[in-house]
Amino acid sequence: MLVSRVPWCSLCRGALRRATGTSPGPAVSGRRWLSQDVIKEFETIFGPKNVSTTEAIKEQHSRDEGPHTPAPPDVVVFAKDTSQVSQTAKLCYKKGIPLTAFGSGSGLEGGVNAAKGGVCIDVSQMDKMVELNASDFDVVVEPGLTWRNLNQQIRDTGLWFPVDPGADASLGGMCSTSASGTNAVRYGTMRENVLNLEVVLPDGTVIYTAGKGRRTRKTSAGYNLTNLFVGSEGTLGIITQATLRLHSAPQVVVAAVVPFPTTTAAVEAVVQTLQCNVPVARIEFLDEHTITACNKYSKTDYKLKQPSLCQVDIVTEIAHGNGASELHWAREPEERSKLWKARHAIFYATCALRPNTRCYVTDVCVPISRLPALVAAAKEDIDQHGIVATVVGHVGDGNFHTMMLFDPQDPKDTANIFDVAHKLASRALDLNGTCTGEHGIGIGKRGLLVREVGESGVQLMRTLKNAVDPKGIMNPGKLFL
Residues within window 421-460 making contact with a copy of itself, judged by CB under 8 A? 429, 432-441, 445, 448-449, 452-454, 456-458, 460
254 touches a copy of itself by CB under 8 A = no
User: Of 311, 333, 332, nearest to 322 (Cα)?
Assistant: 311
Shortest gap between Cβ of 307 and a copy of itself (angstroms)?
19
Closest separation in Å from C-beta 417 to a copy of itself: 21
Strand segments, DSSP code E, in 246-355 are: 247-248, 255-259, 283-286, 308-312, 328-330
Which listed range, 86-94, 175-183, 336-344, 379-387, lies at the site for a copy of itself (CB under 8 A)?
175-183
| Residue ranges in 134-153 that form contacts with a copy of itself under rule CB under 8 A | 135-138
Q: Segment contacting a copy of itself (CB under 8 A): 91-99, 171-179, 312-320, 411-419?
A: 171-179
Our CB check for a copy of itself shows the closer of 39 and 481 to be 481
Which of 86, 88, 189, 306 contacts a copy of itself by CB under 8 A?
Answer: 189
- 253 touches a copy of itself by CB under 8 A: no
> Which residue, 2 or 134, is less far from a copy of itself as judged by CB?
134
* Contact between residue 144 and residue 103 where contact means Cβ atoms under 8 Å apart: yes
Which of 451-474 are b and which e, b meaning 16 or more Cβ less than 10 Å from the residue's Cβ? bbeeeeebeebeeebeebbebbbb
Tell me the Cα Rg of the chain. Answer: 22
Does residue 143 contact residue 239 with C-beta atoms inside 8 Å? yes
Task: Give the span between the Cα atoms of 479 and 232, in whole angstroms.
Answer: 8
Q: Which of 9, 184, 324, 378 binds a copy of itself (CB under 8 A)?
A: 184
Q: In the complex with a copy of itself, which residue's Cβ is closer, 215 or 289? A: 215
CA distance 346 to 77: 33
* By CB under 8 A, residue 215 contacts a copy of itself: yes
With binding defined as CB under 8 A, does residue 4 bind a copy of itself? no
Binding pattern to a copy of itself, positions 318-357, x when CB under 8 A?
A: ----------------------------------------
Inter-residue long-range contacts of 98-101, CB under 8 Å, 24+ positions, other chains counted: 98/473, 98/475, 98/476, 99/202, 99/238, 99/473, 99/474, 99/475, 100/73, 100/234, 100/475, 101/143, 101/172, 101/176, 101/234, 101/238, 101/239, 101/475
Nearest residue to 390 (alpha-carbon basis) of 405, 380, 376, 377? 405
Mapped onto helix, strand or coil, the DSSP state of residue 172 is helix
CA-CA distance, 435 to 366, in Å (whole number)? 9
Distance CA 57, CA 3 (A): 13
x-or-dash string of contact with a copy of itself, 264-303, rule CB under 8 A: -------x--xxxx-x------------------------
At closest approach, how far in Å is the CB of 106 from a copy of itself? Answer: 15
Whole-number Å distance between alpha carbons of 233 and 184 = 20
Q: Do 121 and 74 touch, CB atoms closer than 8 A?
A: no
Stretch that binds a copy of itself, among 16-24, 46-54, 202-210, 324-332 (CB under 8 A): 202-210
Report the chain's terminal Cα–Cα distance, integer Å.
Answer: 28
Q: b/e per residue, 391-412, with b = 16+ CB within 10 A?
A: bbbbbbbbbbbbbbbbebeeee
Instruction: Figure out which of the listed residues 29, 44, 152, 369 binds a copy of itself, where binding follows CB under 8 A.
Output: 369
155 binds a copy of itself (CB under 8 A): no
Q: How far is the CB of 51 from a copy of itself (least distance, A)?
A: 28
φ and ψ of 16, to 5 deg: -65, -45
**Cα dihedral 349/350/354/359 (nearest 10):** -130
User: Which one, 3 or 271, has the nearer CB to a copy of itself?
Assistant: 271
Least distance CB 357 / a copy of itself (angstroms): 26
Answer for which of 14, 70, 188, 472 binds a copy of itself (CB under 8 A) is 188
User: By CB under 8 A, is residue 218 in contact with a copy of itself?
Assistant: yes
220-239 mask for a copy of itself (x: CB under 8 A)?
Answer: xxxxxx-xx-xxx-------
**Binding positions for a copy of itself, 32-91, rule CB under 8 A:** none
Q: How many residues line the site for a copy of itself (CB under 8 A)?
A: 89
Nearer to a copy of itself, 105 or 396 (CB): 396
280 and 256 in contact (C-beta within 8 Å)? no
Whose Cβ is closer to a copy of itself: residue 206's or residue 415's? 206
Q: How many CB atoms lie within 10 A of CB 135?
A: 7
Minimum CB distance to a copy of itself, residue 454 (Å): 6
Q: Compute CA distances 110 → 9, 126, 401, 469, whole Å.
A: 10, 22, 17, 20
106-135 residues in contact with a copy of itself (CB under 8 A) are 133, 135
With respect to a copy of itself, which residue has the nearer C-beta, 415 or 461?
461
Query: If binding is defined by CB under 8 A, does position 156 make contact with a copy of itself?
Result: no
Residues 388-427 that bind a copy of itself (CB under 8 A): 397-399
**CB 343 to a copy of itself: min, Å:** 19
Strand 129-133 and strand 159-160: the pairing is unpaired
Identity of the residue, 57 or 140, whose beta carbon is nearer to a copy of itself in the bound complex? 140
- The answer to whether 387 and 417 have CB atoms below 8 angstroms apart is yes
